[in-house]
Chains A and B, each alone.
Chain A
Amino acid sequence: MIIQASGIWKTFGRFHALQDFSLGVPEGSTFALVGANGAGKTTTIKLLMNIMAPTKGTLTVLGAESQKLSPRELVQIGYVSEQQKMPGRTQVGAYLRYLRPFYPRWDQSLETEIVTQLGLPLERRIRDLSHGMRIKMALACALPYRPRLLVLDEPFSGLDPLVREEFMGSLLRHAGDVTVFISSHELSEIEDATTHVAFLDSGALLLQESMADLKARLRGVRVTLDAPARLPRQLPPEWLDVRLEGDGLRFIDTRDSTGQIGERIAAAIGPAAGKVRQIETEPVPLRSIFTTLARAERERKAPKENFRKGKARRGEA
């Protein structure tokens, strides 16, 4: 694993930004860390770049403890973030020239190619660049030394579709066999390139899986019945986002096993609901997977929260 996190906690005062967070990023993968705003994605990335220290737990990057990342590891890591603050008074070209000597593997011809492709104005000061240009600048500063690990923190945030496309185009063209660790909630942009995914919600990891396994396991299911559909009395726990649609049911099945799906569905619906006429399955987009899982997790937590709030209102301990 190029990144290995085990039992990571990060606490700010009384707020737990990350809670018992563990994950492993295989070398060569494109690993997407997905989560809503405030889920803990940026905190995770700051921990693995040694910008912050974890409160508890161990985190290794390229085999080194994150808190002991040295220039030896950092020459192999590219980093792009929407929040990255580069020296504003410096010109784009001057900053690229400044960075070159720090990276023994810096490829100047690759730099020229990337700068040209991204249309970066070398004579302009960094502070005079637009937000999109700055992100592209950050990418141009991260790729020319062909890093082993490329860490992208919300790179699409605030970018218009054209810039996103240019960014992804350049990234895919030049990344080669680099491991990409990307945090984003812009799921449509990364879905095609992602090989592994982890879902983060309120600082806790909901799941971590390869995209192939996830897409095989999670299927969108539409069941057509011979009578107006009714919800089963007891919904199976593996059915998420269940909705009634006329004479049918639509849901996401999180335990797809194509061979037995008919029997499982018939058993869950029961004879009283009618006879299953047709079952259709389809792949679920990453965005739907994320929203469904996040919603399910919140619903799972909601009764406990409501119970606690109710007790608090009544002044009970």
Chain B
Amino acid sequence: MRWHIVRKDLAQLWIFAAIAAFAEFANAGLWFALGPFQQPQELVVAAQVFPFVVWIAILFLTVAAVHQDPIPGASQDWLVRPIRRMDLLQAKLLFLLITVHGPMLLADIMHAIANGFPIRASFEAAILHGAAIFVVVELPLLALATITTSVMQVMLTLLGAWLIVFAAVLTGTAIRVGTPPPFALSGMQWMTPAFWMLLIALAAFVIIPLQYFRRETSRARRIVGAAVILAPTLSFSSWGMVFSFQEALSPHPADAANVALVLSPAAKPATPISSDNTVRLPVTISGLPPESLLLIDRAYIHLLGLDGTGLYRGRTTLKLSSHHDFVHAEEGGEVHTIQQIEFPAKIYELVRTRPVRAEIEFSLTLFQTEDTETMNPLNGDKRMAAFGWCKARVDDDGDEIQLGCIKPGAAPSCFGLELENPESGGRNPETLVCDPDYAPYALPFYPDAVSQFGGAVRFADKHGFANFPVDASQLPQATLMVQWYRPGAHFTRDAAAEIQPADWVLH
């Protein structure tokens, strides 16, 4: 009887199903049309919006399918018909697989194959994308539809949930005196959506059988309420707790076993700064593996008087002149960098001319090179295992090499671009395209199963301030190195030194 129910729903909802399928194919088609360099520009905005159109179409179709035989209430005709509850549930799932996931799978595969990827890789990425959408979007929507009787109720529930979570996060920020959640803007940002996804998937797995087999709508609604209340709890956790969890997830913790970090006040600060209450402490990091990147996720500073009295507690991150917070150890071994500490003005006045003890607790992540590829920077066109299909070209301004890549599955979250002239041995500074993401999984959610990413590396300065070892004249001989970095170890180190803050401020 499952197919019989599916046919009934299809007869009722074929227009919605057709719209959802059209949206999925249009989304894939738009992104295919954009190509590796995402052009023409006029299409980019439409393409960026289209995945949301797809999700809204999925929402409406899922809710409409479930509401064909609504669960809440006591007047529905299907309740008195000889329909097995399991058949009804399976029919709804089948309907969604046919109308949402069938076209999605097909669109994803066609998008990947049209970009020249093998069928197997295209299929794997499409299955992963479909499975992720099914568990994280489809099942929760289905569960939500089982506790409601109209699309309006679904929208109001979603809006209410969003308002509650938003208010809770704002409250958390207010409690922390204006600072965002502890791991916002760090590589651990994945934990918030992951926690939400886990919550909503768990709630869906409980609610769906509860509703289809026992029709306990009040209890199911309470479960949704509990999930909404639990959702913001992570933003009330501490950095230490969250980083410890991330540390336990380190894929290669041994890589950082020899990394040591000391404050080395004897070294000289390198670059000037603008603020006069910012102390710049030289730091020496040793034991780094070659071809690695070190990111100081956060540093907690404790300033003590020499008699042990606490003077200041604060937090900061490493600020370097380039590459933001990354320390690049190309050869491995020892590198020198700067720990910047910006004190509140009152604190700085208090401590500037007195000897104090600075104790710093560093939270660090070591990235290891996963893969390195080279390609021609001038109209390069290459298929690479790690990066998919990439093309390189000189940008419209004539001062950068642009790289655009298309890859079935998730995009790498951190990679470096470097221009090298093998003949002269010259190398331009590496450009990191890195939005650290320490998630232990890589799921393609947006825009579909095929990811598009890219970056740019400079070889000229139009204003003439900078000279590059590999300049425009050397481009025909140069190669573009693309290096994929993956987080290998998350760890903490403590360092301490006696300083007089005013000695470490540049004027």
Contacts and interface: CB of A to CB of B under 8 A. Distances in A.
Given A51-B80, A103-B82, A84 B75 contact: yes
B505 to A, nearest CB: 70
B74 A52 contact: yes
Contact of B84 (A71, A81, A138): A71
A75 B75 contact: no
A99 B81 contact: yes
A50 B77 CA distance: 13
A8 to B, nearest CB: 16
Nearest to A100: B4
A74 B1 CA distance: 15
A101 B82 CA distance: 10
A90 B82 contact: no
B75 A85 contact: yes
B75 A83 contact: yes
Interface residues of A, number: 28
A103 B1 CA distance: 11
A141 B84 CA distance: 18
Main secondary structure, interface of B, reads loop
B1 A101 contact: yes
Interface string A28-50: 00000000000000000010011
Contacts of A87: 12, 68-69, 77
A81 B81 CA distance: 13
B8 interface: yes
A75 B12 contact: no
Interface residues of B, number: 18
A102 B80 contact: no
A298 B314 CA distance: 76
B152 interface: no
A94 interface: yes
B80 A74 contact: yes
Contact of A71 (B11, B69, B79, B82): B82
Contacts of A74: 80-82
Q: Give the most central of B1, B81, B83, B84: most A CB within 10 Å.
A: B81
Contacts of A49: 79-80
A86 B78 CA distance: 8
Given A70-B82, A74-B82, 16 more contacts: A49-B79, A51-B79, A52-B74, A71-B82, A71-B83, A71-B84, A74-B81, A83-B75, A87-B69, A90-B8, A98-B8, A99-B81, A101-B4, A102-B81, A102-B83, A138-B77
Interface of A: 46, 49-52, 70-72, 74-75, 77, 79, 81, 83-87, 89-90, 94, 98-99, 101-103, 138, 141
Interface of B: 1, 4, 8, 11-12, 68-69, 73-77, 79-84
